[in-house]
Amino acid sequence: MTDALTALDSTFLELEQQDDGALMHIGGVMVFDPLPGGGTPTVAELCANLAPRLGLLPRYSQRLSSPRTGRLSWPRWTEDERFDLAAHIGHAVLPAPGGRAELCRWAADFYSHRLDRTRPLWEMALITGLADGRWGLAHKTHHCLVDGVGSVDVAYLLLDAEPAPGEREAKAPAPAHQSAISRAGRPERASTSG
C-alpha cells in the first residue's frame, strides 16, 4: 500500500532539494542517568526495545517512492523491503571528558547531515562516553514524516516513563496522541486547506 505525500510534506522535500543549506529534519538529544546497576545500553538492546514499538509507527519502515520531488507528481510512501532497524541506529562515543561541549560538537555534526532519501527518513544514535556514566539518545526525523509536536508524541511511544516497566502491550495510542501518530504512523492522513 502506498500513500501520496501531502502538498505540505512535499514542500518540505522541495525546499531541501532546492537549497543545499536547507535541512528539513527535526530532532533532539536526550541524556539519561546510568542504567540501574550502572552502565549504558547497547545498540542491540536499543534495537530489541524499539523493534516491537515500531509497529505503531508504520511510516518508520517506509521510504519515498522517489528521492526527488517536483514536476507533475509527488513521491509516495512505500514499504522499504530492505528495512533494517539496526541500520537506522548508530553508536557514538564522546571524547573525554564527555561534557556538554563534547556533546554539542557531536550533535552539531550529526544534525548537519541530510537524511538519506532512499531509506526511511529517520536516524537515531546511542551516545556513550558522557561524564558520570550517563548516556544519551539523539534522533533525527524528516519534517515530511513528523512535525515538532508529533516527534514528542512519538517519543512517548518509544520510551518508558520508568527504568523497569512491566510488559508493554502493543495497542493503539491514547486519543491525545492521535494527530501526531496519524502523521508518523497511520496511512489515512487527512489534509487541511487554509
* Catalytic sites, residue numbers: 143
Edge-to-edge strands, sheet with 25-32: 25-32, 135-142, 122-128, 89-93
HEC-encoded secondary structure of 146-193: CCHHHHHHHHHHHCCCCCCCCCCCCCCCCHHHHHHHHHHCCCCCCCCC
Look at residues 131, 144, 5 and name the one whose alpha carbon lies nearest to residue 65: 5
Q: Tell me if the bond preceding 173 is cis, omega within 30° of 0.
A: no
Residue 184 near residue 150, CB atoms below 8 Å: yes
Distance CA 76, CA 62 (A): 10
Output the CA–CA distances (angstroms, integers) from residue 100 to 97, 121, 152, in the order listed.
Answer: 9, 27, 22
